[in-house]
């Protein structure tokens, strides 16, 4: 008889064999042993080798392969579809789990059934770790103050409706590291393949859908060595466009009605961010046209100020 694991860990990967080995070793070293790991090889060249994985780390690692790269969101979705565990956790191929990551997260979810998604604290390592850690600590200080969570036990915070409103402003890295039941993941919905900020989008939908918690201890070990595929400065415009797009899509969510004012305010701010990025690239007409399209969501003095600034950029060709 096939035994169902308690938790399925999804690891998307693309062309990072050395880093992937470190990630898999951190799963193999978990103090909780009732898990399966699903590696989704997103078109790596050369392909990840199943036999090599089993030889080095054991037979609890399952390998799926996309013959051509489809992106991290699709890779994660493939892993979730193949998962059989009651719970779902995710590990990027350049990061690590602390040895007690699964033990703590699953124990907390089992002991607190009202919490449907548990976000996990992040601790950075690598050459840029100090800068990244300071940045996330500042962001988390602001989010935790605004979200008004309840301290349930040591380091465990449970949130109410304020979390969604707070995450509309910013989604710090710990809120991009969920552990949840497989059932609840599907209730929230799969990651959006056309969304660059798919982790931020999913966090907002999770906060909108049900009760969330945070285990505010850095057991998710995040590498900070400028190795990320999407976090480079030259992709800032893509990031701002993605932030606008997923907030726009949230307007159609049936759970969002009581937050329409906060969401439209956030959408207008996201529109201004996009326009600013266009203006910094000397694309004043593009900024003006984009801002013009956001007026359907509302008009405020700051919106008009940005429109005038975009017109000036068009006229002056700056």
Asked if residue 173 has pLDDT above 70, the reply is yes
pLDDT value of residue 200: 96
| pLDDT over 70, % of the chain | 96
Whether the pLDDT of residue 305 is over 50: the answer is yes
Beta-strand relationship, 117-125 and 178-181: antiparallel
Delineate the domains of the chain, giving CATH numbers in brackets: 7-223 (3.90.550.10), 233-316 (no CATH)
Give yes or no for a contact between 294 and 251, defined as CB atoms under 8 angstroms apart: no
What is the structure's pLDDT at 182?
95
* 198 and 164 Cβ atoms separated by less than 8 Å: no
| Residue 194 tokens, joined | 């056309």
Q: For the residues 60-65, what does the mean pLDDT come to?
A: 96
Question: What's the rounded mean pLDDT across residues 265-294?
Answer: 89
* CA–CA distances in Å: residue 184 to residues 71, 126, 164: 23, 33, 17
Is 52 a residue whose pLDDT tops 80? yes
| SS3 assignment, position 172 | coil
- Report yes or no: 208 and 165 within 8 Å, Cβ to Cβ: no
Residue 109 CA to residue 129 CA, distance in Å, equals 29
Nearest Cα neighbor of 276 from 256, 290, 266 is 290
Tokens 């969920």 belong to which residue?
178
Which band of pLDDT confidence, cut at 50, 70 and 90, is reported for residue 312? confident
Q: Specify whether the CB–CB gap between 37 and 85 falls below 8 A.
A: no
Q: Which residues of 217-253 are buried (b: 16+ CB within 10 A; e: fewer)?
A: bbbbbbbbeeeeeeeeeeeebebbbbbbbbbbebeee
Backbone CA torsion sign across 158, 160, 164, 165: negative
pLDDT at 1: 43
pLDDT over threshold 80, residue 3: no
Q: What is the mean pLDDT of residues 147-176?
A: 95
- Per-residue pLDDT tens over the stretch 215-268: 999 999 999 987 665 555 568 899 999 999 999 999 998 889 999 999 999 999
Query: What is the pLDDT confidence band of residue 288, given thresholds at 50, 70 and 90?
Result: confident
Residue 33 clears pLDDT 50, i.e. is over it: yes
Count of H helices and E strands in the chain?
Answer: 12, 10
User: pLDDT (tens digit, 9 = 90+) per residue, 97-126?
Assistant: 999 999 999 999 999 999 999 999 999 999
Evaluate if residue 195 carries a pLDDT over 60: yes
User: Is residue 46 reached through a cis peptide bond, with omega within 30 degrees of 0 on the bond before it?
Assistant: yes
- Of the given ranges (39-43, 65-69, 286-290), which has the lowest mean pLDDT? 286-290
> Which pLDDT value is given to residue 233?
54
Chain-centre distance for alpha carbon 238 = 16
Pair 191, 142: CB distance under 8 Å: no
Mark out the alpha helices in 172-300 (DSSP H runs). 182-188, 198-209, 236-250, 260-280, 284-294
CA angle 9–13–18, rounded 5-degree value: 105
* Residue 197: closest CA among 164, 150, 155, 244: 244
Element (H, E) at 110: helix 101-111
pLDDT confidence of residue 31: 98
- Average confidence score pLDDT of the chain: 92
Q: What is the mean pLDDT of residues 19-34?
A: 97
**Nearest-angstrom CA–CA distance, 303 and 310:** 11
- How confident is the model over 261-284, as a mean pLDDT? 91
């Amino acid at each position: 008889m096939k035994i169902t694991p308690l938790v399925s860990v999804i690891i998307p990967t693309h062309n990072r064999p050395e880093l992937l080995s470190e990630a898999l070793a951190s799963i193999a070293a978990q103090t909780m042993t009732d898990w399966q790991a699903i590696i989704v090889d997103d078109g790596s060249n050369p392909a990840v080798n199943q036999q090599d994985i089993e030889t080095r780390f054991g037979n609890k690692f399952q390998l799926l392969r996309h013959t051509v790269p489809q992106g991290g969101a699709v890779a994660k979705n493939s892993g979730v579809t193949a998962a059989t565990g009651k719970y779902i956790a995710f590990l990027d191929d350049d990061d690590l789990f602390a040895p007690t990551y699964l033990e703590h997260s699953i124990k907390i979810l089992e002991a607190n059934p009202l919490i449907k998604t548990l976000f996990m604290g992040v601790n950075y390592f690598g050459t840029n770790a100090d800068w990244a850690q300071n940045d996330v600590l500042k962001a988390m200080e602001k989010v935790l103050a605004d979200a008004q969570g309840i301290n349930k036990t040591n380091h465990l915070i449970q949130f109410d409706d304020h979390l969604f409103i707070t995450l509309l402003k910013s989604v710090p890295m710990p809120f991009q590291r969920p552990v949840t039941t497989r059932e609840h993941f599907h209730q929230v919905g799969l990651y959006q393949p056309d969304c660059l900020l798919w982790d931020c989008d999913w966090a907002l939908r999770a906060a909108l859908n049900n009760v969330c918690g945070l285990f505010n201890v850095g057991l998710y070990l995040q590498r900070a060595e400028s190795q990320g595929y999407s976090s480079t400065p030259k992709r800032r415009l893509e990031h701002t466009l993605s932030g606008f797009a997923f907030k726009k899509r949230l307007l159609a969510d049936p759970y969002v009605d009581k937050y329409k004012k906060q969401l439209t305010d956030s959408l207008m701010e996201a529109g201004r961010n996009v326009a600013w990025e266009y203006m910094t690239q000397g694309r004043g007409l593009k900024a003006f046209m984009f801002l013009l399209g956001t007026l359907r969501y509302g008009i405020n003095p700051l919106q008009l100020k940005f429109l005038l600034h975009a017109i000036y950029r068009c006229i002056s060709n700056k």
